[in-house]
Amino acid sequence: MSTNETGLPRRMFRRSHEPLAADVSLIAAEFLAGFELVQKIDRPAVSVFGSASVAEGSPTYEHARTAGRAVAEAGFAVVTGGGPGVMEAANRGCKEAGGLSVGLNIALSFEQQQNPWCDLALTFDHFHVRKVMFVKAAEGFVIFPGGFGTQDELWEALTLRQTKKIGNFPIVLFDSDYWGEMLDWVRDEMLDDGMITQEDFASLLVTDDPADAVQLVVSRYDERVAEGSA
């Protein structure tokens, strides 16, 4: 029985009289396992995000597969959430091109099964631990269309970059039609109201070319090495 089925992650958010050390040890053990897996990635990496609901053969799936292939051809590893849809496509493209394909899965009661295209894989119980590994492993994010989980990764990375916790970390949105309305809102509301700076807004990179999306990340690697962020 997985910890997801026993309700342990939910227990973390309840007030209770259970020993705090037990809860902390579970999280610490998961961090250790995540760090150990990241250490096994023997090259720089790109984390790729997107919906688990995207079907094989759809344009978004095939674009993500192309992106995964481009990452491998650039000598980088692909890191995804390890599930189906966009995640599977990116892992698959990387694996087909002879690259290193990594899946950071999450234990859920629905939807999320480890895809078969991963060389390295780990299943997490806690989203917050898993999210640290996506950033720790990667030199940038490529974000395909997705739902709440995809948005979560996007806004967390934007916050970390804005607060200079992760240096010059490229964040690339793929599919201008999908992201366009959100970007309009960010510009017309957040930027116009002074909630973010013009620099913050300009750093949101958008493309409709999967190879270009990968290049926008890969091209920043030397700069990240120079600034000590890689």
- For position 113, what pLDDT does the model report? 82
Taking the whole predicted model, whether its pTM rises above 0.85 is answered as yes
CB 84 within 8 A of CB 102: no
CATH number for the domain including 13?
3.40.50.450
Mean pLDDT of 99-117: 88
Mean pLDDT of 81-89: 97
The total of structural domains in the chain comes to: 1
Whether residue 5 has pLDDT greater than 50: no
With CA atoms as reference, report the closest residue to 171 among 159, 186, 189.
159
> 162 is in which domain, residue-wise?
3-227
Whether residue 133 has pLDDT greater than 80: yes
Strands 45-49 and 77-80: parallel
Per-residue pLDDT of 167-215, as tens digits, reads 999 999 999 999 999 999 999 999 999 999 999 999 999 999 999 999 9
Whether residue 14 has pLDDT greater than 80: no
Question: Rounded to whole angstroms, how far apart are CA atoms 108 and 120?
Answer: 19
Question: Rounded to whole angstroms, how far apart are CA atoms 55 and 75?
Answer: 27
Give CA 87 to chain center in angstroms: 9
